[in-house]
Amino acid sequence: MSSLLPVNITEQVELPVIAAPMFLVSGPEMVIEGCKAGIIGTFPLLNARTGEILEDWMNQINAELDQARKEEPNRKIAPWGVNLIIHRSNKRFETDLELLKKYQPPIVITSLGNPAEVVKVVHEYGGLVFSDVISTKHAKKAATCGVDGLILVCNRAGGHGGTINPVAFVAEVKQFWNGITILAGCLSSGRDVLAAQVLGADFAYMGTRFIATTEAMASEGYKEMLVESDVDDILYTDAISGVNANFLIPSLQKAGLDLDNLQRPDKIDVAHADHHENEAKAWKDVWSAGQGVGAIKNVQPIAEVVREMKEEYQQAVQMVTSNSSISKV
């Protein structure tokens, strides 16, 4: 693993994978089981509908992971993280920031705004701050704010995916960035994890792959649709939330939408607490996925998914190192 990563992370992970924080999908059970399986589990703070619920979740995560470490001191149990929307329209920003100080998640992922204030708070208790970006311009801005890592959200990622090819995005960012690099977008297997590392990433950032898990808060219908879908079932459109995102075509059809006459609604501010209900309705009725959806063949526990990805990763490493035609180039 990269020498850029703190030892307390490299020694705790089975694979350099972060289970991405997903709106209405990621919760405490998903985080806990992901970390116990050896990958970094995360969730969006706004998935907890109130500050009281959020505090319960964070307390539960810390308590259960601490207990697991005591019971199995030699087991690799990964650190956990949260996603904080830092746009000024997030009315819970200040109260959620106070909870970060109290429960000290090792990793904080920032979205939509200047992360400088969050960096100061998280660094004071020894945590790391990763900022998700969809362009080189955004990456440069985040880099000047003292973040520890940049999450490069590339084309055809689930949710509000970017538009830049991962090969080009990593290459451009590496010209000015020497910190931790996390690659996001259509990564679903252990082979993809190795490919991300070869490009120069320290971590693979996976969302869609973990929706069809028993611990995810997604509905059973959503999970089954992921199993039945492939890359041709993904549509990139701004007709759902007002911002371009990747959605499952069968879910659009199930919601009664005419694919030939989709209209962009008035823009919904995804960061605004007053709009949280509207945003939730849009994403609850119409389901998102990235183009890596074809790798999902059944609904599994997270531990089983991670075990399979670890085997795929090891096989890919062996294939590359033993391939004489590659080694001679």
> Which segments of the chain does DSSP mark as H helices, in order?
7-10, 28-37, 51-71, 93-103, 116-124, 136-143, 166-173, 190-199, 220-228, 249-254, 276-285, 302-322, 324-327
**98 or 8: whose pLDDT is higher?**
98
What pLDDT, on a 0 to 100 scale, did the predictor assign at position 303? 98
Residue 238: pLDDT over 90: no
Please, which pLDDT band fits residue 261 given cuts at 50, 70 and 90? confident
Q: How far is CA 27 from CA 49, 51, 80, in A?
A: 11, 14, 12
What pLDDT, on a 0 to 100 scale, did the predictor assign at position 112? 85
| Mean pLDDT to the nearest integer, 149-159 | 92
| Mean pLDDT to the nearest integer, 30-58 | 97
Residue 192: pLDDT over 50: yes
Amino acid symbol at 270 = V
What pLDDT, on a 0 to 100 scale, did the predictor assign at position 4? 66
Cα separation, 149 vs 225, whole angstroms: 33
**267 or 66: whose pLDDT is higher?**
66
Q: What digits encode the pLDDT tens for the residues 240-249?
A: 877 888 999 9
Residue 2: pLDDT over 90: no
CATH code: domain 7-218+291-321 is 3.20.20.70
Mean pLDDT computed over every residue of the chain: 90
Name the pairing type of β-strands 80-85 and 245-248. unpaired
What pLDDT, on a 0 to 100 scale, did the predictor assign at position 1? 57
Which contiguous run of DSSP H or E holds residue 153? strand 149-153
- Cβ atoms of 296 and 226 within 8 Å: the answer is yes
- Cβ atoms of 156 and 290 within 8 Å: the answer is yes
Tell me the chain's radius of gyration from C-alpha atoms: 19
| Mean pLDDT to the nearest integer, 47-70 | 97
Query: Beta partners for 245?
Result: 237
Residue 315: pLDDT over 70: yes
For the beta carbon of residue 234, count every other beta carbon within 10 angstroms. 23
Q: How far is CA 237 from CA 81, 200, 227, in A?
A: 29, 30, 22
pTM of the predicted protein model: 0.91
Candidates 54, 47, 52; CA nearest to 25 is: 47
| Mean pLDDT to the nearest integer, 141-145 | 94
| Mean pLDDT to the nearest integer, 70-94 | 92
What pLDDT, on a 0 to 100 scale, did the predictor assign at position 269? 46
For residue 149, the SS3 value is strand
Residue 5: pLDDT over 80: no
Please, which pLDDT band fits residue 11 given cuts at 50, 70 and 90? confident
What pLDDT, on a 0 to 100 scale, did the predictor assign at position 212? 97
Residue 39: pLDDT over 80: yes
Among all chains, which residue has been given the structure tokens 């992970």?
A: 13
| Mean pLDDT to the nearest integer, 202-224 | 97
Please, which pLDDT band fits residue 273 given cuts at 50, 70 and 90? very low
